[in-house]
Amino acid sequence: MKLFFNSIFVFVLLVLCSACEKPKKKIQFPKTDLTKSALIPVPLNIQASYDAFGLGKNTVIYTDDQNTLYSKIGQFLSEKIRFRTTLSLPLNASAESVDNDSPENSIYIVESKDTSLSASESYELEIKQDSILIQAQTPAAAFRGIQTLLQLIPEKRNDTLKNSPLWVIPAGKITDRPTFSYRGTMLDVARHFFTVEEVKKYIDLIAYYKLNVLHLHLTDDQGWRIEVKSWPKLTEIGGKTEVGGGAGGFYTQSEYQEIVDYAAERFITIIPEIDMPGHTNAASLSYPFLNGTGKPLKSYTGTRVGFSSFDTRKDTVYSFLDDVIREIAAITPGPYIHIGGDESFVTKKRDYKYFVEKVEAIVQKHGKNMIGWDEIAEAKISSQSIAQHWRTVENALMAAKNGNKVILSPAKKAYLDMKYDSLSKYGLDWAGHITVDSAYIWNPSTFVEGLPLESILGIEAPLWSETISNSSEMEYLAFPRVIGYAELGWSTPENRNWEDYKIRLAKQRSFLEKNDVNFYRSPLVEW
Ligand code: ACM
């Protein structure tokens, strides 16, 4: 029935708009070729029709206005078009209210039940001379389609085709869907704190490249960054430090929710990480009963790892964690809680396993699925939990054998905090240098030998913050490499090619500059 109404909706819109339009002179657009557009991630299928759509002041955006999510996507598109072009395009305007008495052409964002669009985040974008139609089964998928359309809007307007400027969009048809359902990046806000505004800027940028996950590494030895109302000293004491001795900081629960909501408007899931039982000096400093090392506690603002641990055999530690996870689960709509679990070098192996199994039960009790760094595969975890491969191939294989899905973040390929080369201004090099081409040239589907494709949930590029403390420094390490990871997560191996990618990447410069992104001008790319 819904299908029927949706079809009626599209039909009525198309008829209404063709009836209300006066016959128009066909514009002679310059020759275009949709297949030559600098789209990242490269779509699954592009067919060019060598015609064009002139985006101008009389373009109107239509969505199903009964469906608030679709209207919001239309509004988002309108705002982004205004930022890019200065055009103020009305949304769902009636013909009478359109400036200059009739819409020149229209953009439709439409829910479709077409079975060809049933894959998650699958969309179709059809561009003709007088209409653009984005069809998708879900708002998330329509939102991905919007990004493709935005990327097709040229930087330069054409002032000669009509008496008002037009932005010429090449015509044709794109059918598209992602390879992996999980396409993420991580930001370490614990080693250095990043403000809500800085996190929002990063979210907005990654949305443009169709990433759908932002993992926030919220706690570490150097700082605790999320308010827990039942344990206030975590932020009163643990939130006041960071690497290098700066002031640190933390998100109140309402600030965290502001980040979650901002991400949700871009169909990005926030995954909160509470790293444990190691990486917990800031927590134990706040509540010393948590400490399991027997060593005296001091605040820590250096960059060593592996020296702290919770006491894994104390019931009060688990009551504490029950409160922490309950409060964080309650303000996290996404399905996952990340428990860290990496580099617990001073936790005895059997205590480590016992701990991971206990914490998994707490996470599940609060309605979430557990993610942990690949070491968690050493414990007896349930098959719903997810291992994030960063270092040890055996752990990734063990997880897959146990029925766990695996997220791929191999440090030597996917760590955004590795230096580009010896001249890099920021970054570390323990996993090697990662040039922009090396970051791109690998295949997540086959990278870990013996890891079945069915076990791979997707990829994530983590950005650790030992050497960076603000947006500008963060962007230097993240951009442009994160754009390549977005393509690795979305596009098929058959459609990926460095020589072609580097040309499309060079064309991102205007977007990055317009958004004030301090990207690394790799000499491998002709910017
Ligand atoms: C990690 O890099 N310690 C997960």
| b/e per residue 412-450 (b: at least 16 CB within 10 A) | ebbbbbbbbeeebebbbeebeebbbebbbebebbebbee
State whether the beta carbon of 390 lies less than 6 angstroms from ligand 1.
yes
Whether the CB-CB separation of 448 and 389 falls below 8 Å is answered with: yes
pTM of the model: 0.95
494 has catalytic annotation: no
What is the residue with the minimal CA distance to atom 3 of ligand 1? 342
In angstroms, what is the span from residue 411 Cα to ligand 1's centroid? 8
Distances (CA, A) of 47 to 38, 44, 315, 492: 14, 10, 62, 17
Distance 54 CA to ligand 1 centre (A): 48
Tokens of 355: 């701990």
With a 6 Å cutoff on the Cβ, whether 373 touches ligand 1 is yes
R_g of the chain computed on alpha carbons: 25
Catalytic residue (one of 343, 460, 475, 487) = 343
The per-residue pLDDT string of the chain (527 residues; one tens digit each, 9 = 90 and over) reads 444 445 555 555 554 444 444 555 678 999 999 999 999 999 999 999 999 999 999 999 999 878 889 999 999 999 999 999 999 999 998 766 655 556 689 999 999 999 999 999 999 999 999 999 999 999 999 999 999 999 999 999 999 999 999 999 999 999 999 999 999 999 999 999 999 999 999 999 999 999 999 999 999 999 999 999 999 999 999 999 999 999 999 999 999 999 999 999 999 999 999 999 999 999 999 999 999 999 999 999 999 999 999 999 999 999 999 999 999 999 999 999 999 999 999 999 999 999 999 999 999 999 999 999 999 999 999 999 999 999 999 999 999 999 999 999 999 999 999 999 999 999 999 999 999 999 999 999 999 999 999 999 999 999 999 999 999 999 999 999 999 999 999 999 999 999 999 999 999 999 999 999 999 999 999 99
Separation of alpha carbons 102 and 186, rounded Å: 46
- With a 6 A CB cut-off, is 343 part of the ligand 1 pocket? yes
Which numbered atom of ligand 1 lies nearest the CA of 279?
Answer: 3
Measure 391 CA to ligand 1 centroid, in angstroms: 8
| Per-residue pLDDT tens over the stretch 332-366 | 999 999 999 999 999 999 999 999 999 999 999 99
pLDDT digits (tens, 9 = 90+) for 83-96: 999 999 999 987 66
Q: Which residue do the tokens 């097709």 mark?
A: 152
Whole-angstrom distance, CA of residue 402 vs CA of residue 399: 5
Q: Is the CB of residue 374 below 6 angstroms from any atom belonging to ligand 1?
A: no
Q: What is the pLDDT of residues 88-143, one digit of tens each?
A: 999 998 766 655 556 689 999 999 999 999 999 999 999 999 999 999 999 999 99
